[in-house]
Amino acid sequence: MSGIVTLAILSVMLVYVIMTYNGLVQVKNNVAKAWANIDVLLKQRHDELPKLIDTCKQYMQYEQATLEKVIQARAQVASARESQNIGALGVAEGALRAGLGRLFALAEAYPDLKANTHFLHLQERISGLENAIADRREFYNESVNVNNVRIEQFPDLIVARMFNFPRAELLRFAETELEDVDIAKRFG
């Protein structure tokens, strides 16, 4: 009789470990999927930015510094994206958003550029990508939070430690993205 009870207890424990393991694998893969969704949008924006910059160059001969800042920020985002360095990506994203904001603000001073349908289409496309990236960042951080909570909660933490489930890093905003926007400064 004690053998049956022992076997039943071991069977319940085994089922629990398997179910917990599978749940942790699903949560970990949700983090990877959320990152992949951000990566797709970052790649699309990365591909669109040179077209926008080339269009702007035709009109903005005196704004080279702004264009160069956008180009540098684009390179930093690409580097962080390729290396999956979440911390560096947050900082690079802040620099790129600031550069794009300044570029779009400066475009107001160029009526021919503002009237260019190619520029307007690219501006709209990049703005749409920015909004989608913001949504995906929120989803990614929620997935990371679920992952990190699961691997720290008892009794799941036992299985997480047995199988070395890692913590994931939140995608944080750069300090500049948390500050109030100074519209006058964007035109200066």
d(CA 183, CA 104): 12
The CA distance from 125 to 147, in Å, is: 32
Cβ-based neighbours of 168, under 8 Å, separated by 6 or more: 28, 31, 143, 144, 147, 148
- State the CATH number of the domain containing residue 9: 1.20.1440.20
Full-model pTM: 0.74
Tell me if 150 sits within 8 A of 160, measured CB to CB.
Answer: yes
pLDDT score recorded for residue 176:
55
Residue carrying the six token digits 């519209």 = 183
The per-residue pLDDT for 112 is 81
Q: Domain limits at 153? A: 2-187
Position 21 scores a pLDDT of 95
pLDDT at 113: 81
What is the pLDDT tens value at each position of the chain, 188 positions in all? 888 989 999 999 999 999 999 999 999 999 999 999 998 999 998 888 888 888 887 777 767 788 888 889 889 999 988 888 888 888 888 888 888 888 888 888 888 887 888 888 888 888 899 889 989 999 999 999 999 999 999 999 999 999 999 999 988 866 555 455 444 454 34
Q: How many domains does the chain have?
A: 1
